[in-house]
């Protein structure tokens, strides 16, 4: 009986050691918690869950756990935030917000976006949508992207990621017909692996 007890203790300690070694990897995972008021979309959160979601004319567009949900690429004076996910019956979709006049040098500088709302109809903004390999620059009727909270995440006193959380909603045209992208929300961890400035 004592031998079983010692084995159990040793096994428990090994599990704790292995799980603590993998804690940095867990920051990369996506945590999808469904919003009961917006079925099929993730809840709004500010914890770096690496998720996003919106309705594209009532069809859900969401991040998925098998691919990196977001990437930021800064070229010259333009920040490009790309959200990659799926829509409907597994169509690969990406939505890109290009914001001219904002060029952070590195991901910690994203904190300057904290509590910022950007009018997507402004000439300094371009929104494009790629569905199944077909890309379109969207003509925005009205809408905004709001960076409600941007915070830097430290793990063991080392900067790990910037967490961007907020909302987006806009109206546009697809195939000559007006549509709404609604209930958009994001909670993204941006760090070394998905921030590029060149």
13 belongs to a structural domain: no
Q: How confident is the model at residue 175, as a pLDDT?
A: 87
Q: Is residue 2 a part of any domain in this protein?
A: no
Give the helix ranges, DSSP H, for 22-122. 23-26
Written as tens digits, the pLDDT of the chain (198 aa) is 555 555 555 555 545 554 444 444 455 689 999 999 999 999 999 999 999 999 999 899 999 988 899 999 999 899 999 999 999 878 899 999 999 999 999 999 999 999 999 999 999 999 999 998 899 999 999 999 999 999 999 999 999 999 999 999 999 998 899 999 999 999 999 999 999 999
Number of domains within the chain: 1
Name the residue range of residue 103's domain: 25-197
User: Within a domain: residue 106?
Assistant: yes
Is residue 18 situated within a structural domain?
no
- CA distances in angstroms from 93 to 15, 63, 99, 136, 187, listed in the order given: 38, 9, 20, 12, 18
Cα separations in angstroms, 84 against 5, 93, 102:
48, 6, 22
Percent helix, strand, coil in the chain, to 5, is: 15, 55, 30
Rounded to two decimals, the pTM is 0.85
Domain assignment of residue 3, yes or no: no
In a domain, 4, yes or no: no
**Is 6 part of any domain?**
no
């Amino acid at each position: 009986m004592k031998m079983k007890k010692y084995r159990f203790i040793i096994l428990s300690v090994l599990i704790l050691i292995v799980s603590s070694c993998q804690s940095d990897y867990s920051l990369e995972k996506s945590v999808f918690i469904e919003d009961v008021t917006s079925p099929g979309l993730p809840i709004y959160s500010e914890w770096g869950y690496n998720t996003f979601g919106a309705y594209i004319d009532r069809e859900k567009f969401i991040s998925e756990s098998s691919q990196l949900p977001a990437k930021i690429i800064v070229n010259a004076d333009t920040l490009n935030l790309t959200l990659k996910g799926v829509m409907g019956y597994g169509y690969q979709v990406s939505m890109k917000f290009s914001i001219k006049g904002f060029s952070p040098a590195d991901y910690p500088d994203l904190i300057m976006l904290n509590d910022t709302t950007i009018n997507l109809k402004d000439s300094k903004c371009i929104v494009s949508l790629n569905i199944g390999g077909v890309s379109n620059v969207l003509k925005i009727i009205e809408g905004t992207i709001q960076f409600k909270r941007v915070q830097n995440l430290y793990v063991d006193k080392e900067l790990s990621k910037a967490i961007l959380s907020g909302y987006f909603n806009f109206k546009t045209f697809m195939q000559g017909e007006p549509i709404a992208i609604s209930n958009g929300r994001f909670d993204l961890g941006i760090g070394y692996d998905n921030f590029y400035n060149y």
